[in-house]
Amino acid sequence: MNDPTRRIGQPYQHTSARPSIDATRLWVGGLLAGVVAAGVAIIGLLIARGIFDIRVFVPGRDDALFTPSSWWYAGAAFICGVLATGLLYLLLVANAPAPFRFFTWILGLVIAISVIVPFTTNAALESQIATAGINLAIGITLMSILQGVGHSAVRDQTLG
């Protein structure tokens, strides 16, 4: 722990400090992270489709692939931002041990799945790479923004 009064070799003394969560700050930041993620999705689609003329796809029902509209992909990215904010809020409110570490790992696993799934389909390799790249960019965006938002929404509060 980062206690400036603790000397090396001394055991850590737990204080009665408990984090206080500014839920409004967390959720406003999470909604804005969703907006940024939607922007990343649109930029990714513009690059893939507009510059490289590569089809970006999403697996649908019965193993069928469909090409999502830019608004659909942006909406999905926004919803992922809201869901990730909800996960972080749940970890903080539940007083989970090391909530930011668990958040990073859980979101990292979700990102890994979203990057791997395109390669499990029978789409063209360039479409698989483009889709995986956009998903990775959205995931990294959400993880990095929400880490900062989460830290700014948590304040230590000494209990009496």
Q: Where are the beta strands (DSSP E) in 51-97?
A: 58-59, 65-66
Token reading at 32: 């804005």
Ranges 4-8, 28-32, 58-62, 124-128: which has the least confidence: 4-8
Give CA–CA dist 127/117, Å, rounded: 12
Dump pLDDT digits (tens) for 88-119: 999 999 999 999 999 999 999 999 999 999 99
Average pLDDT, the chain: 86
Smallest Cα–Cα separation from 33: which of 139, 136, 115? 139
Give CA–CA dist 116/65, Å, rounded: 15
Give CA–CA dist 16/18, Å, rounded: 6
Q: Grade residue 57 by pLDDT with cuts at 50, 70 and 90.
A: confident
Mean pLDDT of 136-140: 98
Share of the chain above pLDDT 70, in %: 79
Residue 150, pLDDT > 50, answer yes
Give CA–CA dist 108/153, Å, rounded: 21
Mean pLDDT of 16-34: 88
Residue 39, pLDDT > 90, answer yes
SS3 (DSSP) at 134: helix
Burial of 52-61, coded b for 16+ CB within 10 Å and e otherwise, reads eebebbbeee
Residue with the bigger pLDDT between 109 and 60: it is 109
Rg (CA), the chain: 20
